[in-house]
Chains A and B, each alone.
Chain A
Amino acid sequence: MSDAIYKTDALIAEDIDAYLEQHQHKTMLRFITCGSVDDGKSTLIGRLLYDSKMIFEDQLDALTNDSKKVGTQGGEIDFALLVDGLAAEREQGITIDVAYRFFNTEKRKFIVADCPGHEQYTRNMVTGASTADLAVVMIDARKGVLVQTRRHSYICNLIGIKNIVLAVNKMDLVDYSQEVFDKIVADYAKFAEEIGIESFTAMPISGFKGDNITVAPSENTPWYEGPSLIEHLETVEVLSAQDAEKPFRMPVQWVNRPNLDFRGFSGQIATGAVKPGDAVRVLPSGKTSHVRSIVTYNGDVDEAVAGQSVTLTLTDEIDCSRGNVIAVADNPPEVADQFEATVVWMDDEALLPGRGYWLKLGSQTVSAAVAEPKYEVNVNTMEHLAAKTLALNSIGVAEVTTDKPLVFESYADSRQLGGFILIDKVTNATVAAGMLHFSLRRSQNVHWQAVDITREEHAKLKNQAPKVLWFTGLSGSGKSTIANEVEKRLNLMNRHTFLLDGDNIRHGLNKDLGFTDADRVENIRRVGEVAKLMTDAGLIVLTAFISPFRAERQMVRDLLPEGEFLEVFVDTPLEVAEQRDVKGLYKKAREGKLKNFTGIDSPYEAPENAEIRVNTVEMSPQEAAAYIIDRIMPLK
Chain B
Amino acid sequence: MTSLTHLERLEAESIHIMREVAAEADKPVMLYSIGKDSAVMLHLAKKAFYPSPPPFPLLHVDTTWKFKAMYELREKAAQEAGMELLVYQNPEAQQRGINPFQHGPLHTDMWKTEGLKQALDKYGFDVAFGGARRDEEKSRAKERVMSFRTSTHGWDPKNQRPELWNLYNARKKKGEGIRCFPISNWTELDIWQYIMKEQIEIVPLYFAEERPTYEYEGGLFMADDLERLEEAMGTLPEITMRSIRFRTLGCFPLTGAVESTANTLADVVQETLLTTTSERQGRVIDKDGGDASMEKKKQEGYF
- A interface residue numbers (CB < 8 A to B): 9, 12-13, 16-17, 19-20, 23-28, 56-59, 85-88, 90, 96-102, 104, 108-109, 111, 123-124, 126-127, 130-131, 238, 240-241, 244, 253-254, 256-258, 262, 264, 266-268, 273, 295-298, 305, 307-309, 311, 322, 346, 358, 360-361, 363, 415-416, 419-421, 423, 428-430, 433
Contact = CB atoms under 8 A, between A and B. Distances in A.
Contacts of B47: 296-298
B189 A23 contact: yes
Given A254-B22, A421-B162, 17 more contacts: A9-B274, A87-B292, A87-B295, A240-B4, A253-B19, A267-B19, A268-B166, A297-B50, A298-B47, A309-B11, A415-B165, A419-B167, A421-B169, A423-B171, A430-B161, A430-B162, A430-B163
B78 interface: no
A363 B20 CA distance: 8
Interface stretch (B98-106, B228-236, B265-273): B265-273
B291 A87 contact: yes
Interface in B253-303: 266-267, 269-270, 273-278, 281, 291-292, 295
A262 B164 CA distance: 33
Interface in B82-110: none
Nearest to A110: B6
Contact of A28 (B6, B52, B184): B6
B68 interface: no
With most chain B CB atoms within 10 A of its CB, the pick from A19, A102, A416 is A102
A55 to B, nearest CB: 8
**3 nearest A-B pairs in the assembled complex, by CB-CB distance:** A28-B6, A309-B15, A57-B276
A487 B142 CA distance: 56
Nearest to A123: B162
Contacts, number: 191
11 contacts: A20-B266, A27-B3, A28-B10, A58-B276, A256-B52, A258-B53, A295-B50, A297-B46, A309-B12, A309-B48, A421-B162
Nearest to A245: B1
Given A85-B138, A87-B291, A253-B16, A311 B50 contact: yes
B255 to A, nearest CB: 16
B123 to A, nearest CB: 22
B5 A420 contact: no
Interface in B37-59: 46-53
A258 to B, nearest CB: 4
Nearest to B266: A16
A100 B5 contact: no
Contacts of A240: 3-4, 9
Nearest to A306: B4
Nearest to B160: A97
Given A253-B16, A360-B169, A98 B142 contact: yes
B171 A101 contact: no
A16 B192 CA distance: 13
A268 B8 CA distance: 12
Contact of A238 (B3, B160, B276, B291): B3
A78 B56 CA distance: 45
B173 to A, nearest CB: 7
A102 B187 contact: yes
A43 B211 CA distance: 43
A306 to B, nearest CB: 8
A25 B4 CA distance: 9
Given A25-B5, A131-B165, A419-B165, A20 B15 contact: no
A351 to B, nearest CB: 15
B274 A13 contact: yes
A27 B184 CA distance: 18
Nearest to B157: A86
B185 interface: yes
A363 B169 CA distance: 11
Contacts of B165: 130-131, 415-416, 419
Contacts of A298: 47
Given A85-B141, A433-B164, A256 B51 contact: yes
B117 interface: no
A423 B278 CA distance: 39
A606 B294 CA distance: 38
Contacts of B23: 253-254, 322, 363
Interface of B: 1, 3-13, 15-16, 19-20, 22-23, 46-53, 134-135, 138-139, 141-142, 157-158, 160-167, 169, 171-173, 184-185, 187, 189-190, 193, 196-197, 266-267, 269-270, 273-278, 281, 291-292, 295
Given A16-B267, A24-B7, A99 B167 contact: no
Contacts of B138: 85
Contact of A101 (B1, B8, B141): B141
With most chain A CB atoms within 10 A of its CB, the pick from B6, B157, B190, B266 is B6
B270 A16 contact: yes
A288 B157 CA distance: 47
Given A85-B142, A123-B162, A238-B3, A12 B135 contact: no
Contacts of B11: 309
A115 B131 CA distance: 24
Nearest to A418: B165
Contacts of B270: 12-13, 16
A307 B190 CA distance: 18
A428 B172 contact: yes
With most chain B CB atoms within 10 A of its CB, the pick from A90, A268, A416 is A268
B277 A58 contact: yes
A553 to B, nearest CB: 16
A244 B1 CA distance: 8
Given A20-B266, A256-B51, A360-B169, A268 B157 contact: no
A56 B295 contact: no
A11 to B, nearest CB: 10
A430 B139 contact: no
Given A13-B270, A23-B193, A419-B165, A96 B158 contact: yes
Contacts of B15: 268, 309
Given A20-B266, A86-B295, A295-B51, A253 B7 contact: no
B50 to A, nearest CB: 4
Nearest to B272: A12
Contacts of B273: 12, 19
With most chain A CB atoms within 10 A of its CB, the pick from B48, B49, B171, B274 is B171
B1 A102 contact: no
Contacts of B276: 56-58
A249 to B, nearest CB: 14
Contacts of B16: 253, 268, 309
A78 B12 CA distance: 36
A254 B19 contact: yes
Given A23-B193, A85-B138, A322-B23, A256 B157 contact: no
Given A88-B158, A253-B16, A296-B50, A308 B166 contact: no
A617 B77 CA distance: 62
Given A421-B169, A430-B161, A430-B162, A16 B269 contact: yes
A19 B196 CA distance: 13
A88 B299 CA distance: 13
Contact of A130 (B134, B164, B266): B164
A419 B135 CA distance: 28
A258 B277 contact: no
Contacts of A253: 16, 19-20, 23
A26 B193 CA distance: 12
Contact of B185 (A23, A111, A296, A420): A111
Contacts of B184: 100
A58 B3 contact: no
A268 B12 contact: yes
Contacts of A360: 167, 169
Contacts of B266: 16-17, 20
Contacts of A322: 23
Contact of A308 (B4, B53, B161, B292): B4
A308 B277 contact: no
A298 B198 CA distance: 10
